[in-house]
Chain A
Amino acid sequence: MSLSRLQRGWHRARRRPVAVVGAVVVLLFTAMALGAPWIAPSDPLRTDWSKIRKAPTWAHPFGTDDLGRDTFSRVVWGTRISMQAGVFSILLAIAIGVPVGLVAGYYRGAFDQLIMRLTDAWLSFPFLILAIGLVTILGPSLTNATVAIGLGATPTYIRLTRGLVLGTQAEDYVQGARALGAGDGRVMARHILPNIASALLVQATVSIPGAIIAEAILSFLGLGVQPPSPSWGTMLSAAQQFLEAAPWMAWWPGLAIFSLTLSFNLAGDGLRDLLDPKDY
C-alpha cells in the first residue's frame, strides 16, 4: 500500500465523516470494554434486594434491574462480552476459513470440489439452527457460543478467500512469481495473501457486527453467557419480562447492541472506501 494511496484514502475518509464517527464510536466501545473496571461505577454483579427495578436516577443513570443491580455498570461490562464474542468468533472463522480457502483456490481439483460441497451443505443450514444445535451439544457458555458463531461464519471466509485467490491466479504478480520459480507456499504467503488481505479485512468488519448480534440472540435464548455475567443478550431476555413495568431494562442493552453494530458497519463502509482501489 503506497503512501499516496493512503493519502487518497484519507481524503476520501474525510469526505465521509459518518464513517469516521463510526470508527470513533467503535474505539470508544473498545475503550469501554478494556476499561470496564474503572468506568463502571459499581460492581455489575452486586445485588440489592431493596432496589429492584428502579427507574433511572442519578445514582443509577440507567436504572436497576430485576435483581437490584446497576444497569449502567452491566451495560459497560457487557461491552466486553459482546466485543469478545464478536471479534474472537470472526478470528476463528478467519483462522479456519482463510487457509482452507487459500489451498482450495490455489490447487483446485478434487479437494476444492469437496470443500465447495461441504460449504454448500454448511450454508444450507439456517445459521441459527446450526448454532443452537452446536451449543446444545457443547453446553451453553460464552466460549461455546463464540465457537458456534465462528464455525457458522467459516464457510463465508472459505468461499470469499477461494474466490479472491481464483481472481489473483491470472494476475501478473502471481504469474511473475511463479515464473521466477517461487514455491507454492511462498506464492501463497508472500504474493497472494497480502493482495487479498484488504478484502478480508473489509469482510471482517462486516461480519463482526453480525457475530455480535448472533451472540446477543444466543444469550437471549439462554445459550450464551451464563449468569450472573452481564451480557446484552441476557439482559434483554431478563428485560423482556418487564417490558411494561421496567422498560429501561430493555432500552439500554438494546441501544448498546444497535449502536455498536451500527458503528461497526459505518466504519466498515469507510474502510472499504479506504482500501478499495476502485474509485467510487
Chain B
Amino acid sequence: MLDFLLQRVAISIVTLLVISLVVFTGVRMIPGDPARVMGGTDADPAGLAEIRAKYGLDDPVPLQYLRWLGLALRGDLGESIRTREGVVRTVAAKLPITIELAGLSLVIALAIAIPAGVFSAVRRNTIWDLLANGVSLCGLSVPSFWLGIMLILLFSVRLRLLPASGFVPLFQDPLANLERMIMPAFVLGAGLAAVLMRQTRNSMIEVMSADYIRTAYSKGLAGRVVVFRHAIRNGLIPVVTILGLQTGALMGGAVVTEQIFVVPGFGRLIVEAVFTRDYPMVQGVVLITASAYVLINLLVDVAYSLLNPRIRIRGGET
C-alpha cells in the first residue's frame, strides 16, 4: 500500500512539473505583450521598458522558469502584473467562491443523478426510464451558455425572482449568497447531472444483473432491500471514478458559468489573466488548478483501491 502511494505521489509531481513547463512556455507564445496590454492604447515606451525589467520579462525563458519554480517551491507565486496583488492572495480569495459553486453544483448534480439513475435502472424500459433518459440527454445537449442566458431571461428579467448576477460572500449573508449562486450552480450542475445519471443507470443495470444480486433475489429478499443494501454500493463505484474525471470539466464549466453570471471566481480570474497577458497570474492559477485536479485524482485512486483491493495489485497502471 505504501509503495503504491509513493508511486502515485511521484507520478503526480512529475505531472505537475510537465504542466508548469507547458504553461510557462505556452503563455509566452501567445502574441501580445503584458506591459502593452496594461497601457491600452495609451502607452509610454519608457514605462513599458521598466515594467518589463521589473518582472524580468526580457530574460531568457528558461531562466525565468527556474526563477519562478524556485519561488513557487517556497509557496511564492509572484504578484499580478495587472493589480500587483500577490497571486497566492488573489487565488486564496477566489478559490473558495469557485469551490462553493462547484460544490453546490455537485450537490445538485448528485441529488438529481443518483435517485434518477437508480430509479430508471430499477424501472428499466418503463415510461419513467424513458423520461429520465430524455431529460438527461437534454442536459447533455444543451449548451451551458445558452442555458444560462435563458435562465437569466426567465428568472431575472421576466419573473424577477432571482438576481441576475453578483456575489455576496457566504459568511456575510448566506441567504443572499445562495440566491445568487443557485442559477450558476444549476447551469454548471446540469451537464454533470446528465453524465452521472447515465453512468449510475448503466452500472446499476450491470450490477443488478450480476449473480449475487440474482442470488439475493432468489433468497427471497425484498426488491427494495436488494437495491439499497447490495446493488447501490457496488453500482456507485464507477460513478466515483467518473466524478474524479469530471472535476476538470467542472472547472472548465466554471469558466463559462462565471462569465455569464459574473461570479468573481477562479474561472473569470483565469480568463481575464489570459486576456491581459498577466503571466504570473496565469501560471499560478493553472498550477493550482492542475494541483487540485491531480490531488483529487490521487484521492480517487486511493479511494478506489480501498473499495476494491484488486486494483492495488495492478498499481499505477490505471
Contacts and interface: CB of A to CB of B under 8 A. Distances in A.
Interface string A188-220: 000000000000000000000100010011001
**Main SS at interface, chain A:** helix
A265 B294 CA distance: 30
Nearest to B121: A280
Nearest to B270: A129
Interface stretch (A55-63, A95-103, A120-128, A174-182): A120-128
B94 to A, nearest CB: 14
B15 A120 contact: yes
A124 B15 contact: yes
Which applies to chain B's interface (DSSP): helix, strand, loop or mixed? helix
Interface residues of B, number: 49
Contacts of A18: 130, 134
The 4 A-B pairs with the shortest beta carbon distances in the complex, nearest first, are A126-B252, A124-B293, A262-B141, A261-B141
Interface in B23-39: 26-27, 29-31
Interface string B233-269: 0000000000001001101111110000000000100
Interface centre among A123, A166, A258 (most CB of B within 10 A): A123
B66 interface: no
A125 B290 CA distance: 6
B205 A137 contact: no
Contacts of A247: 153
B294 to A, nearest CB: 6
Interface in A120-158: 120-121, 123-129, 132-133, 136-137
15 contacts: A18-B130, A18-B134, A117-B11, A117-B18, A120-B294, A121-B19, A125-B289, A129-B255, A244-B157, A247-B153, A254-B150, A258-B142, A261-B141, A262-B141, A269-B137
B209 interface: yes
Interface string B72-100: 00000000000000000000000000000
Contacts of A165: none
Contacts of A117: 11, 14-15, 18
Given A120-B297, A125-B248, A137-B30, A220 B145 contact: yes
Number of chain A interface residues as a range = 35 or more
Interface of A: 18, 117-118, 120-121, 123-129, 132-133, 136-137, 166, 209, 213, 216-217, 220, 236, 240, 243-244, 247, 250, 254, 257-258, 261-262, 264-266, 269, 280
A262 B22 contact: no
B131 to A, nearest CB: 11
Contacts of A244: 157
Given A117-B14, A243-B153, A265 B141 contact: yes
Contacts of A240: 149
A124 B289 CA distance: 8
Contact of A254 (B11, B29, B146): B146
B140 interface: yes
